[in-house]
Structure 1
Amino acid sequence: MRHFIRRIAMLAALLALAACAGPRPKALAVLHYQHVANAHEIRFTNPIALSAALYRVGHLSPVDSEGFWAVFVLCNVDVTEGARRGFHYNVNQFRVSHEGREFGGLPPYSLRYQGQVDLNNAGDTLPILDAIAAEIQEGPHEQIFHTGFYPDLNYRFAIFVPKALVNYAGEELKLSYKGQPAILVGNGKPPSDLPAVGGSAGGVAAACVPPLP
């Protein structure tokens, strides 16, 4: 009997929490994107000085051989009338979502400098992110989109995936956004698999193509 009463009390508490949580906030914008490439090395046009190395670093690669940078292009943004203060686009708020996990940012000791033993530390995070953005990123770092439709943006950015993704076979990856409620829709095109981008490496797609039917 005592066990039954505890179960009833637990169910009541869960129902109360659900009531307090209320409905999910409505999306303020719909963002269409294309996953254009997975790159396994970043090269720099101008080698950069980092505290974890006694030399200027000309390229980076993941410590895990299955890690990569997922490169995306934001095709267009449609901001709803309910976004009174507009939609705040910030490239750092994007995440890769895959099988219940999210990836974003740059973990320490996840990158190798020029194939050497030297690895990135926390103090080098911002210089590395800035250098990668200089090679890959197109479009502003931040922008306010007010109500309306914004076509043909072609804002490009990269998200680091430090390890192999479970059950991933090279298909389009899902994007999520952490800043404000938004719906993100990929165009269904699979990414190119590139050994390197930036610097002396080959280019990466800079514009969206029409979505698959």
Structure 2
Amino acid sequence: MKRTAALLIAMATLATVLAGCVGHHLSRDTQKTVRMTYVHVANVYQLATADGALSPRGKDDRGFWAVFDICSLYMRGMSLKGFTFDVQDFHVIVGDQRYDASRSYRVLTTFAGEVDAQDDPARRLIADRLGLAPEQQYFPKEPYPALAYRLVVAIPEWPEAYLGEPMTLGHSDPEVTLINVSERPPREWQQYDRFSSGPLVSTCPRQTLPAQKSASVQP
């Protein structure tokens, strides 16, 4: 009788442990997570174009565009079918200051005076000259180890705590993790002309992930 009772207790304990392991595994697999790596490519203070020059209108005439590349994108979670990339969800943190990509700002031009950054031709010229990716893009659930997807955040003035190091990029969704993989400080361009200066080359590190590592980010 004692042996039977002990056996039943052992079996019940084992069942509880196994249930806990399975439950933990399922909760981990059903949790939706998105992970991105990025680099801070450059700070551009003025764009030179055939139409004239453009610069972000700042409080101290030291406004600039912080140029970032999303290097890789990974998604995990059984219920996650894909991820919608939206530039408006990003922000930059420098010290205790935060600059949202969604914040409207003005651009000072030599051909049309001061205009809204979302108005053409300013918007078109900024996107074309800096090589920006579409502001919105849906990515089906699969690994993207070599993305190089470009966005900018306008910084209206020189942040007090900024010393030229790669800035911290953030996202409004707490399920999105951003990892800074910058290997060097961003390049400083007082005036950038794509045709005479050449394209802003991505500084994403070369990376080829093994198949099993790529697969591990998906259930």
Q: What is the CA deviation profile of residues 104-149 of structure 1, one whole-angstrom value per residue up to 9, with x for unaligned ones?
A: 24644x43222x89322x4x62322232112213444322223332
Question: Which residue of 1 is the match for residue 119 of structure 2?
Answer: 126
Q: Is the 8 Å Cα contact of residues 28 and 83 (structure 1) preserved in structure 2? A: no
Question: Which residue of 1 is the match for residue 36 of structure 2?
Answer: 31
Partner secondary structure for residue 69 of structure 2: strand
Question: Which residue of 2 is the match for residue 66 of structure 1?
Answer: 62
* Structure 1 portions without partners, runs of 5+: 1-25, 48-57
Query: Cα distance, 1:62 vs. partner?
Result: 3.4
Stretches of 4+ moved more than 3 A in 1? 105-108, 138-141, 198-201
Question: Whose radius of gyration is greater, 1 or 2?
Answer: 2
Query: Cα distance, 1:37 vs. partner?
Result: 0.4
Query: Cα distance, 1:99 vs. partner?
Result: 2.5
Identity %: 24
Partner secondary structure for residue 188 of structure 1: coil
Q: Is the 8 Å Cα contact of residues 194 and 200 (structure 2) preserved in structure 1? A: no
Sort the Cα spacing of 1:133 and 1:117 in 2 relative to 1 into closer, same or farther, 3 A.
closer
Sort the Cα spacing of 1:27 and 1:41 in 2 relative to 1 into closer, same or farther, 3 A.
farther
Sort the Cα spacing of 1:102 and 1:201 in 2 relative to 1 into closer, same or farther, 3 A.
farther
Partner secondary structure for residue 149 of structure 1: coil
Q: CA-atom RMSD, angstroms?
A: 2.7
Aligned length: 171
Q: TM-score, normalised by structure 2?
A: 0.67
Question: Which residue of 2 is the match for residue 177 of structure 1?
Answer: 171
Which amino acid is the alignment partner of residue 151 of structure 2? F
Partner secondary structure for residue 30 of structure 1: strand
Sort the Cα spacing of 1:165 and 1:82 in 2 relative to 1 into closer, same or farther, 3 A.
farther
Q: Is the 8 Å Cα contact of residues 94 and 161 (structure 2) preserved in structure 1? A: no
Partner secondary structure for residue 61 of structure 1: strand
* Structure 2 portions without partners, runs of 5+: 1-30, 208-219
Q: TM-score, normalised by structure 1?
A: 0.68
Q: Is the 8 Å Cα contact of residues 81 and 147 (structure 1) preserved in structure 2? A: no
Q: What is the CA deviation profile of residues 69-96 of structure 1, one whole-angstrom value per residue up to 9, with x for unaligned ones?
A: 1011110001112552421112332221
Measure, in 2, the Cα distance between the counterparts of 1:105 and 1:126.
15
Query: Cα distance, 1:159 vs. partner?
Result: 1.4
